[in-house]
Structure 1
Amino acid sequence: MALNALLKRVWIGLAVALIGSLAAAAFPDLIQRDDTGRIRLGAPAPSPSASAPTPESTSPPLPRDAVDEAIQTAIGAAGLDPAQGRPLGPTGADSDRTGWTAVRERTSAVSEMNAICADLERQGWTPNPNGDRPDLSRSYRRGSWSLLVSTRGKTLAPSTTSALTDSQTYLTVVGFRLNLSDIPLPEITVRLG
């Protein structure tokens, strides 16, 4: 019985060490291992002699009005009049959400979505293919902003909007800002042995 308990502790210790080593290799900025065998999660503790941290990027953050302009430009490049749709999200330059939506014919919505996406890429927005469905939605990222371009049918339409016919769908561009550096990671210390 004592041998089984000892083997169990050894296996658990090896598993924790392996997981910690793999995590430290995958996320070197978030996981540190010191000389005593302790693993720390979260930002490294500042040393007393450390100077102020340097910013990640020298370019200024992308403001909301620049995102609005990118959306309007892409909509215009698709041959659509931005004034024919309606804006999404609250007004104000400090808002973290923006967007545009319009009722479109299903037969033209996918080609219009493709034209919007092509112009966003031309403007420097980076495609994020994870979870995209080419005929329904595509997502993009630039700085701390993400954009989702989609066509959605009647079943997903908000109930407060006018009813769509069977030949219509919504063409939507939604932008939102998510700054993960504002979310603090908890500090967790694990001691092996």
Structure 2
Amino acid sequence: MNALLRRVWIGLAATLIVSLAAVVLPDHVQIQDDGRIHLGAPASTPSPSAVAPTPESTSPPLTRDAVDEVIRTAVSAAGLDPEQGRPTVAVGASMNRTGWVAVREKAAAQSEMDTICADLERQGWTPNPNGDRPDASRSYKRGGWYLLVSTRGKTQAPSTTSALTDSQTYLTLTGLQLDLSDIPLPEITVRIG
């Protein structure tokens, strides 16, 4: 009985890990019809039912300074002053992370987020439709960077910020540089039962 429970728990844990990976990195996780899960580069012969991921624009790798400028431009396009918000990562603290956050009225935050997202697409950022919630968060990728645009309520507020009123929320842009192309990931088959 213990061996069966152990196999069930291992199967559940593997399924959870793969599911999370599929949401965060949809281009690097393919689940085939036969139950095989491929991590890493797309399989050489994808099944006919597999949906091809949206190709990323062929842009050179971006620097943190370039991503900071992208964020400032998108925030300005939404009619906001980038200086009214604050960076989420100190300048020079990390070259592969950046971000911006501002307290906004809930009534305006959604349209501001929509405008920011439209400007990111105008700047050549590729949207990632997997796992996004259009009313709360959207993610984009370009030049080795991933950007998450979100509105966060006060229950998810960063601990270093002031308290929000019931009519306020946080408008946040978070950038993270990831390069997973050099990491060889094995093929994993998950079977339960």
One fold, TM greater than 0.5?
Answer: yes
The residue aligned with 2:149 is 149
Structure 1 residue 116 corresponds to structure 2 residue 150? no
CA distance in 2, matches of 1:78, 1:59: 24
- Name the amino acid aligned to 1:104: R
Give 5+ residue unaligned stretches, structure 1.
1-18, 30-56, 188-193
Displacement after TM superposition at 1:90 (Å): 3.6
Higher alpha-carbon deviation: 113-122 or 155-164: 155-164
- Name the amino acid aligned to 2:43: F
The residue aligned with 1:175 is 175
CA distance in 2, matches of 1:146, 1:115: 18
Structure 1 residue 28 corresponds to structure 2 residue 44? yes
Runs of 4+ in 1 over 6 A off after TM superposition: none
- Name the amino acid aligned to 1:110: Q
The residue aligned with 1:63 is 63
CA distance in 1, matches of 2:166, 2:82: 23
Give the structure-1-normalised TM-score.
0.65
Identical counterparts, % of pairs: 73
CA distance in 1, matches of 2:139, 2:70: 14
Give 5+ residue unaligned stretches, structure 2.
1-33, 46-56, 188-193
Give the structure-2-normalised TM-score.
0.65
CA distance in 2, matches of 1:185, 1:128: 21
Displacement after TM superposition at 1:160 (Å): 2.6
The residue aligned with 2:9 is none
Q: Rg bigger for which structure?
A: 1
Structure 1 residue 74 corresponds to structure 2 residue 90? no
- Name the amino acid aligned to 2:162: S
CA distance in 2, matches of 1:87, 1:185: 34
**1:85-164 to 2 correspondence within 5 Å?**
85-92=85-92, 95-164=95-164
Q: 1:120 to 1:93 in 2, by over 3 A?
A: farther
Task: Provide, for residues 72-128 of structure 1, a one-character-per-residue CA deviation record: whole Å limited to 9, x for no partner.
Answer: 000000000000000112422961000100000000000000000000000000000
